[in-house]
């Protein structure tokens, strides 16, 4: 074999091997929930599935099949099924085929790929806020600004699914709070009270640790859980620097140089040493179990954990309480709130009217109450006049005073599209004592630059 | 006429493979060179020149990534070469359960990497994992295999070796069995012992096999991703990030142009290391 040919042989084998790597990235969709084998979008005319088997006599409308894409979170799957069943009972001519996708960034890419290849389901549930902004809504979703059901939606939700003054989504379910779960039994046993300042909280941590109990549950094996303390501090940031979100989006304010914002990283740094010994190998599910079983006193987390807690440990739910992450002064104490995800309609759907009916149903008081029968809310609903069910656990009711007294602020990701992808790795380093707060904040400022540029924001 | 026909005739056989290769390989590769120069959201792209490459090289975890990639490739490659050779010699020797043992050694190669990663991840759990609970029986407190930033990468490398050594062994077995018997006979006549045979016959004459193992294991190590991702996701923090995991995280973050630029860099990096290595190794091969 001559030299150049050998070179090309080698070159192409190297290329092929790196090609294999690229192929690893493709996620596969979970189609277990699909009742019929026909893939979404496969039916050419779509509308006319003329199965004569459904003998509803009064039915004059043609039968329509919608496809729905949701994430494969245990709770999502349960309430989606309830919603779909109730909707199909109400509109017998519409059938909905549900498909699940992975959560997290794998799910983000799943959704983006479907949109980019024109293969999206008619209706899809997806995050609101910064993640939704990255989907290019103007090009991919149907404008829902003038739909009558928007009147039912609470006003604070609307900006999180809007771009250039147009609303593209409707809320799915309840809001949630970011803060600290605590075990009431441990608090009672050690005579502790709910802290109103950060110093009191750390004092409690010290006492719990001295009593030989794990003061804080860390579940850093699921890296996203490490961000909670930093993200849940946003109420305190906004209380001190009201313009932070706007300045941050415009590249005028930075975490490293805004003391109130830097505090979030510093607070995380102060918790080093209070975690369970195996916190780097503990998963989110294991963390919830530890909380319910009283193996740890505090767990900084979103209240979206409540439905899972109720489902997995129904007898222990009353042992668990919740408080907002306190600031440095007792008179500025409030809750950072996460908005529910949205239901969106794909721009090229063949059945926009039926899809709108489903979205309207999801965002109605009726839809919300159906969800409430199978899944405990994680906070107040984003639908006007939708009351929490009577059997709502106390841990959720713990959040209500913050809402009633107007002591809430949305998390930064609902006010600014700028969120860096490496935050969870950085917070793992801070929480495990490998990186100092100031250094971490500077690194994160550098990280968000990529995101801002990708979104084409002005000033970056 | 017949001459031309004959020439085309042979090329016709090449055609199906060439089309497949072009469509699913050459075209995407060329496109990736293009997209590496753009800011790409899947919905639209803007041409930004070499900006992505600049950003990629400013990535804070990149120096860790390059270092880890080289350490990982060198450690896994070295161990596979040595362990593969020893196992190869052992499994070509006069032992009874040879066939059975050969399958046992090869078995891990057949298992899904992700499954191996998840299983070992559980076994390496610091408090409830099989490894540390076993060590605890002997009164030893095992380390946090994947949580301790100093040893996490080596823990993953060890699993990689466990999984990959079977392939190296099979290549060595083939190489060793190809050595003609005459050499051993000559050695026996000269009164050499088993060590002489190993060092003066087996090692030099299985060189082509060794080269194949080195190249395969080294390339595999440089572009390793799946096992690391299944076990640590590059963590804790950035401690076990390799270039491929950095690229994957950028892709996950939605920075498609940047991730593509990273792949172009990885491609050049692997080629720059492997081409001279392969040249050097093939020059040293001896004819049987």
Q: Which of B17, B120, B232, B236 would you mutate first to test chain A, the one with the most A CBs within 10 A? A: B236
Task: Say whether pLDDT at A49 is over 90.
Answer: no
Cβ-based contacts of B250 with chain A (< 8 Å): 421
Cross-chain CB nearest to B237 (options A277, A425, A454): A425
Contact between B248 and A25 using a beta-carbon 8 Å cutoff: yes
* A422 neighbourhood in chain B, CB within 8 Å: 61, 249, 253
Is residue B78 less than 8 Å (CB to CB) from chain A?
no
A107-131 average pLDDT score: 92
How sure is the predictor about A56, in pLDDT bands with cuts at 50, 70 and 90?
Answer: very low
Identify each DSSP E strand in B43-195 by its residue range: 45-47
Stated length of chain A: 460
**Alpha helices, DSSP H, located in A256-350:** 259-270, 284-292, 306-312
Other CB atoms within 10 Å distance of the CB of residue A62:
10
Give helix then strand counts, H and E, for chain B: 15, 2
Cβ–Cβ of A21/B127 closer than 8 Å?
no
Contact A333, A409 (CB under 8 A): no
Average pLDDT over residues A403-414: 89
Q: Which residues of B touch A426 (CB under 8 A)?
A: 237
Confidence of residue A412 (pLDDT cuts 50, 70, 90): very high
- Closest residue in A to B264 (Cα) is A18
- Please tell me which residue of chain A has the smallest CA distance to B255: A454
Please report, for residues A256, A279, A328, B116, B118, the alpha-carbon distance to residue A264 in angstroms, rounded to integers and kept in the order given: 11, 20, 11, 38, 33
Element (H, E) at A162: strand A162-163
Mean pLDDT of chain A: 85
B223/A425 touch (CB, cutoff 8 Å), yes or no: no
Distance CA A310, CA B38 (A): 47
Distances (CA, A) of B143 to A302, B125, B148, B232, B278: 31, 9, 7, 16, 38
Tell me, which fold does domain A64-175+339-388 have in CATH? D-Maltodextrin-Binding Protein; domain 2 (3.40.190)
Residue A283 with chain B: CB contacts under 8 Å: none
CB A85 within 8 A of CB A373: no
- Tell how far CA A19 is from the center of its chain: 33
Residues 220 to 249 of B: which have CB under 8 A from any A CB?
220, 223, 225-226, 233-239, 244, 248-249
Partners of residue A432 in chain B, C-beta under 8 Å:
236-237
Residue showing tokens 């250094």: A439
C-beta of residue A343 within 8 angstroms of C-beta of residue A170? yes
Percent of chain A with pLDDT over 70: 87
Calculate how close chain B gets to A91, using CA atoms only, in Å.
35
- How far apart CA A417 and CA A129 sit, in angstroms, is 7
Which residue from B223, B248, B254 is facing A17, i.e. has the nearest CB? B223
Q: Give the pLDDT of residue B234.
A: 87
Q: Do B252 and A15 touch (CB under 8 A)?
A: no
Which of A14, A220, A281 is closest, CB to CB, to B126?
A281
| CA of A316 vs chain B CAs: smallest distance (Å) | 24
A421:B250 CB<8 A: yes
The CA distance from A328 to the nearest CA of chain B, in Å, is 28
> CA dist A314 to A311, B77, B145, B261, Å?
6, 51, 35, 50
Q: Give the pLDDT confidence of A299-347 residue by residue, as tens digits.
A: 999 998 998 888 888 899 999 999 999 999 888 889 999 999 999 999 9
Instruction: Tell which of B30, B253, B262 to mutate to test the A interface (max A CBs under 10 Å).
Output: B253
Confidence tier at A31 by pLDDT (50, 70, 90):
very low
Quote the minimal CA–CA distance from B69 to chain A in Å: 14
Among B125, B255, B275, the residue with its CB nearest the CB of A450 is B255
Cα–Cα distance for residue pair B42/B23, rounded to 1 Å: 20
Q: Which of residues 29-68 of B touch A (CB under 8 A)?
A: 29, 39, 41-44, 46, 55, 58, 60-61
Q: Which residues of B94-125 are buried (b: 16+ CB within 10 A; e: fewer)?
A: eeeeeeeebeebbebeeeebeebbebbbebbb
CATH 3.40.190.10 residue window(s) in chain A: 64-175+339-388, 177-337+397-455
Closest residue to A223, CB basis, from B44, B233, B250: B233
DSSP symbol at A338: E
Record: contact A435-B146, CB cut-off 8 A? no
Q: Is the pLDDT of residue A10 over 70?
A: no
CATH of segment(s) A177-337+397-455: 3.40.190.10
A241, pLDDT greater than 60 = yes
pLDDT for res A42: 37
CB contact under 8 Å between A18 and B223, yes or no, is yes
Question: Which of B128, B254, B256, B257 is the best substitution to test chain A (most A C-beta atoms within 10 A)?
Answer: B254
Extents of the domains making up chain B? 61-283
**pLDDT at residue A220 above 60?**
yes
Query: How far does the CA of residue B288 sit from the closest CA of chain A (Å)?
Result: 19
Choose among B39, B127, B267: nearest Cβ to A18. B267
Enumerate the residues of chain B whose CB falls inside 8 A of the CB of residue A113: 42
CA distance A37 to A101: 17
> What ipTM did this prediction achieve?
0.81
CB within 8 Å of chain A, chain B residues 165-224? 219-220, 223
CB-based contacts of A388, cutoff 8 Å, min separation 6: A372, A377, A380, A381, A396, A397
Residue A158 has pLDDT above 70, yes or no: yes
CA distances from B30 to A40, B14, B22, B25, B241 (A): 31, 21, 10, 9, 27
Residue A155 scores a pLDDT above 90: no
Dihedrals φ, ψ of A30, to 5°? -85, 115
How far off is chain A from B247, nearest CA to CA, in Å? 10
> Is there a contact between B42 and A428 if contact means CB atoms under 8 Å apart?
no
> What is the reported pLDDT for A386?
83
In CATH terms, the fold of domain B61-283 is MetI-like fold (1.10.3720)
A199: Cα separation from own chain's centroid: 29
Searching chain B, which residue's CA lies closest to the CA of residue A442? Answer: B60
Size of interface A-B (CB pairs under 8 A): 131
Q: How far is B15 from chain A (nearest CA, A)?
A: 17
Per-residue pLDDT in tens (0 to 9) along chain B, 288 residues: 567 777 777 788 888 999 999 999 999 989 888 999 988 887 788 888 888 888 888 887 888 888 999 999 999 999 999 999 999 999 998 888 888 999 999 999 999 999 999 999 999 999 889 999 999 999 888 888 998 888 999 999 999 999 999 999 999 999 999 999 899 899 989 988 889 889 989 999 998 899 999 988 988 898 889 999 999 988 788 999 998 999 998 888 888 889 999 999 988 888 898 888 888 887 876 665
Q: In what order do the strands lie in the sheet with A170-171?
A: A94-101, A64-71, A123-126, A342-345, A170-171
Mean pLDDT score, A358-376:
91
Contact assessment for residue A374 and residue A96, using Cβ atoms and an 8 Å cutoff: no
Mark yes or no for CB contact A115/B43 under 8 Å: yes
């Amino acid at each position: 074999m001559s030299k150049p040919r050998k070179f090309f042989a080698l070159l192409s084998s190297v290329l092929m091997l790196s090609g294999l790597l690229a192929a690893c990235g493709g996620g596969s969709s979970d189609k277990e929930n699909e009742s019929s084998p026909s893939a979404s979008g496969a039916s050419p005319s779509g509308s006319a599935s003329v199965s004569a088997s459904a003998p509803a006599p009064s039915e004059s409308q043609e039968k329509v099949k919608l496809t729905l894409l949701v994430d494969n979170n245990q709770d999502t799957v349960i309430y989606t099924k309830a919603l779909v069943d109730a909707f199909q009972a109400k509109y017998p001519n519409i059938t909905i085929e549900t498909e699940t996708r992975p959560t997290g960034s794998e799910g983000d890419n799943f959704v983006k790929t479907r949109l980019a290849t024109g293969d999206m389901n008619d209706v899809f549930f997806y995050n609101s806020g910064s993640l939704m902004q990255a989907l290019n809504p103007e090009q991919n979703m149907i404008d829902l600004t003038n739909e009558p059901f928007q009147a039912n939606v609470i006003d604070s939700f609307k900006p999180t699914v809007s771009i250039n003054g147009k609303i593209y989504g409707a809320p799915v379910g309840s809001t949630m709070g970011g803060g600290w779960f605590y075990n009431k039994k441990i608090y009672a046993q050690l005579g502790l009270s709910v802290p109103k300042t950060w110093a009191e909280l750390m004092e409690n941590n010290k006492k719990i640790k001295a009593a030989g109990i794990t003061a804080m549950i860390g579940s850093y094996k699921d890296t996203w859980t490490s961000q909670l303390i930093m993200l849940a501090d946003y109420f305190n940031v906004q209380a001190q620097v009201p313009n932070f979100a706007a300045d941050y989006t415009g590249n005028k304010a930075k975490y490293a140089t805004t003391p109130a914002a830097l505090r979030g990283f510093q607070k995380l740094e102060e918790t080093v040493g209070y975690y369970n010994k195996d916190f780097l190998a503990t998963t989110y599910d294991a963390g919830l179990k530890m909380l319910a079983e009283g193996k740890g006193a505090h767990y900084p987390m979103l209240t979206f954990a409540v439905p899972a807690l109720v489902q997995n440990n129904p007898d222990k739910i009353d042992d668990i309480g919740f408080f907002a992450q306190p600031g440095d002064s007792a008179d500025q104490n409030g809750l950072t709130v996460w908005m529910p995800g949205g239901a969106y309609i794909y721009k090229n759907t063949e059945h926009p009217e039926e899809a709108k009916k489903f979205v309207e149903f999801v965002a109605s008081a009726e839809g919300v109450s159906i969800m409430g029968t199978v899944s405990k809310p994680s906070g107040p609903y984003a639908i006007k006049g939708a009351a929490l069910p009577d059997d709502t656990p106390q841990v959720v009711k713990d959040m209500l005073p913050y809402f009633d007294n107007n002591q809430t602020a949305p998390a930064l990701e609902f006010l600014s599209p700028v969120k860096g992808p490496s935050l969870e790795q950085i917070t793992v380093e801070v929480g495990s004592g490998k990186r100092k707060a100031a250094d971490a904040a500077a690194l994160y400022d550098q990280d968000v630059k990529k995101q801002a540029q990708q979104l084409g924001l002005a000033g970056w | 006429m017949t001459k031309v026909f004959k020439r085309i005739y042979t090329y016709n056989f090449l055609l199906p493979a060439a089309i497949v290769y072009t469509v699913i390989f050459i075209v995407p590769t060329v496109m990736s060179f293009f997209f590496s120069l753009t800011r790409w959201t899947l919905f639209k792209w803007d041409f930004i020149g070499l900006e992505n490459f600049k950003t990629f090289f400013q990535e804070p975890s990149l120096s860790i990534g390059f270092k880890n990639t080289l350490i990982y490739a060198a450690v896994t490659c070295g161990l596979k070469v040595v362990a593969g050779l020893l196992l190869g010699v052992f499994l070509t020797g006069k032992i009874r359960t040879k066939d059975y043992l050969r399958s046992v050694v090869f078995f891990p190669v057949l298992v899904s990497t992700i499954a191996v990663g998840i299983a070992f991840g559980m076994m390496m759990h610091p408090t409830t994992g099989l490894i540390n609970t076993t060590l605890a029986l002997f009164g030893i407190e095992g380390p946090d295999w994947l949580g301790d930033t100093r040893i996490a990468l080596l823990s993953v490398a060890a699993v990689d070796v466990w999984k990959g050594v079977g392939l190296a062994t099979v290549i060595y077995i083939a190489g060793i069995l190809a050595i003609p018997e005459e050499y051993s006979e000559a050695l026996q006549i000269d009164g050499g012992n088993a060590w002489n045979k190993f060092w003066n016959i087996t090692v030099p004459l299985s060189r082509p096999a060794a080269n194949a193992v080195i190249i395969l294991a080294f390339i595999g190590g440089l572009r390793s991703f799946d096992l690391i991702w299944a076990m640590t996701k590059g963590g804790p923090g950035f401690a076990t990030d390799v270039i491929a995991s950095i690229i994957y995280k950028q892709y996950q973050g939605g920075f498609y142009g940047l991730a593509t630029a990273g792949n172009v860099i990885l491609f050049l990096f692997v080629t720059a290391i492997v081409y001279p290595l392969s040249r050097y190794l093939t020059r040293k091969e001896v004819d049987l």
